[in-house]
Structure 1
Amino acid sequence: MSRPDPHPADQDTGATGVHMRNAMGQLLQKLRYEPTAKRIRATLGGRTVLDTTRAMLVWEPRRVVPTYAVPDDDILAGISPRASTTATEDSSAGIMLPDLSKTPVFDPRTPFDVRTTQGEPIELRVAGTDAVASGFRPHDPGLAGYVILAFADFDSWFEEDDEIISHPHDPYGRIDVRGTSRHVQLMLDGHMLADTTRARMLFETNLPARYYLPMEDVVAPLVPSSTTSMCSYKGHATWYSAVLGDRTVEDIVWQYKLPLSDAAEVKDYAAFLDERLDLIIDGEQQERPVTPWS
């Protein structure tokens, strides 16, 4: 199955319209920020170390998910300079998302200290404890007086009174779940893994559509894995390996047993990494998507 060119605006077609994904890909190369009306709090070392209604969502160049920047005045911990442990990134670093960008991008697994903008590394310390978190003062007038914070270094984060995980939500990203009666089959090397006409399709901004299947329609035996993962929008995932004869395909299936509200409709359904499998829809084999999990 052929796919449309992900960058049609790069072709001389005479079109005057803008392909949104192409426009978003171009913006990835810039430092972006957006104020949020949410009250943002974070804890470190068992204490609340920031409480603000003036937070900014910040995407450094080539980063695909945001983090928070907060005013110095709203940080309730000591701030001091910190030596940077990672040099400013080079143009070949990152992972490819060809549907979004022609250059590598940084997903949430990229270390916080990989920099794509100029600024000063700092650290937060909680008095009387060993708790420390990394931060960064960008040298950009639009973020003057703000500190970008390493989300993963903190114990917990809250938007208003609700705890969030993994990273802040992108106000320009979303999840939709739709039931579908399309005939969905998943195969590998001639072995059928799943076969259903009762899938739920999960659409997430800038990612391929995922097919979540009733467990009853999974044909291959599944073995629980020790692997876990989390998604800011969907929650904590449990992973499984699939048994195909005398072969075990590691960490190929995941499931949200207690999903967050955005993904409530896929509770207990199973999704397969079709980057590594053959996905067949209504008898037509699909091209394998290219993602960080390929």
Structure 2
Amino acid sequence: MATMVRQYLMSALGSLRYEPTTKMVTVCSADQVIARTDNAVLVWEPQRIVPSYAVPVVDLQVKIEEARPFALEETPAGMLDPGKSFAEHTCAGRTAVVSGAAGPGEVFLPDDLDGYAVLGFFSFDWFEEDERIFGHPRDPFSRIDIRHSARVVHVVSGGDILAESGHPLMLFETHLPPRFYLSPGDVLADLVRSDTSTTCAYKGEATHWSAPRLGGAGIDIAWSYENPPPEMHQITGRVCFYQEKVDFVIDGVRGDRPVTPWSP
């Protein structure tokens, strides 16, 4: 019997999953250390597609307060992307807070992960060894490959050609559609910077771009990374259009728009 690895991994999405890490993890609130441990685990609640960190309760340097049972009345439909609130839990446990120098932070104690506290990522500052991390902890089972390509790419919306390129930089990321990062000179549409800014744990802070001539359909149709981490330097300043929002014609073949958390 043959098993596709992706299907095997996806079959566990309904379970509470965890994976130990050998990294030293430090959690801070302003300049106060909340926890420092080399026994942290990565935790995916059911239906969560990115992990959080859980630390042993014994390694917390502050007291857990206001612990109360969390009643799972109904499991939310669909996958929970990083934009979903930490307070939206999908398994039984207790909710609580810990108070740090920068204020209170959310905590979740899953019933099936005894002795561990999952800390809300955005309530604290996080470090792996001596490097700060952002967005969310990286998934050890996810990777990114960047490759130069000779595919001929046309980005279109209605009758408008927004960009065309014969030398895209392709980014392959686990469980996501391939992305085409184009040189600014390959972009034909007049794009304006929008107020939208997002964070990727792997690529950093993303600037978003809109095409005013497309009206509402042109809002936030592309993004770029102006200052990505060193390992992602190849995509610096390149423009990537959402395949979910515009049409891509690759080597003369129009592709289907993928369905992802970023679909309209």
Q: TM-score, normalised by structure 2?
A: 0.94
Deviating more after overlay: 143-152 vs 187-196: 143-152
CA-CA distance at 1:232 after TM superposition = 0.2
Write the deviation string for residues 204-258 of structure 1: whole angstroms up to 9, x where unpaired: 1111110000000000001111110000011001111113377771111100010
5+ residue gaps in structure 2? none
C-alpha distance in structure 2 between counterparts of 1:231 and 1:269, whole Å: 16
Identity, % of aligned positions: 39
| Counterparts in 2 of 1:37 and 1:194: CA distance versus 1, 3 Å | same
Match of 2:259 in 1: 290
CA-CA distance at 1:149 after TM superposition = 0.9
1:112 aligns with 2:86: yes
Determine if contact 2:71/2:92 at 8 Å carries over to the other structure: no
1:252 aligns with 2:221: yes
CA-CA distance at 1:119 after TM superposition = 1.1
Match of 2:249 in 1: 280
Deviating more after overlay: 165-174 vs 105-114: 105-114
C-alpha distance in structure 2 between counterparts of 1:285 and 1:182, whole Å: 13
| Counterparts in 2 of 1:54 and 1:245: CA distance versus 1, 3 Å | closer
CA-CA distance at 1:78 after TM superposition = 2.1
Determine if contact 1:125/1:131 at 8 Å carries over to the other structure: yes
1:136 aligns with 2:108: yes
5+ residue gaps in structure 1? 1-15, 95-103
Determine if contact 1:69/1:146 at 8 Å carries over to the other structure: yes
* Residue among 9, 14, 23 paired with 1:24: 9
Three-state SS of the structure 2 residue aligned to 1:30 is coil
Three-state SS of the structure 1 residue aligned to 2:141 is coil
| Counterparts in 2 of 1:208 and 1:247: CA distance versus 1, 3 Å | closer
Determine if contact 2:55/2:118 at 8 Å carries over to the other structure: yes
Match of 2:148 in 1: 179
Three-state SS of the structure 2 residue aligned to 1:244 is helix
- The amino acid across from 1:66 in the alignment is P
* Residue among 190, 193, 196 paired with 1:227: 196
Match of 1:125 in 2: 99
Match of 2:20 in 1: 35
C-alpha distance in structure 1 between counterparts of 2:258 and 2:26, whole Å: 37
CA-CA distance at 1:90 after TM superposition = 2.9
- The amino acid across from 1:185 in the alignment is H
Match of 1:152 in 2: 122
Over aligned residue pairs, what C-alpha RMSD do you find? Answer: 1.7
Three-state SS of the structure 1 residue aligned to 2:122 is helix
Match of 1:66 in 2: 51
- The amino acid across from 1:138 in the alignment is P
Write the deviation string for residues 13-49 of structure 1: whole angstroms up to 9, x where unpaired: xxx2101221121111111111100000111143121
1:90 aligns with 2:74: yes
C-alpha distance in structure 1 between counterparts of 2:88 and 2:175, whole Å: 22
Determine if contact 1:233/1:262 at 8 Å carries over to the other structure: no
CA-CA distance at 1:83 after TM superposition = 4.7
Write the deviation string for residues 56-88 of structure 1: whole angstroms up to 9, x where unpaired: 00111111111011011211122113457x863
CA-CA distance at 1:109 after TM superposition = 1.3
CA-CA distance at 1:261 after TM superposition = 3.2
C-alpha distance in structure 2 between counterparts of 1:171 and 1:83, whole Å: 32
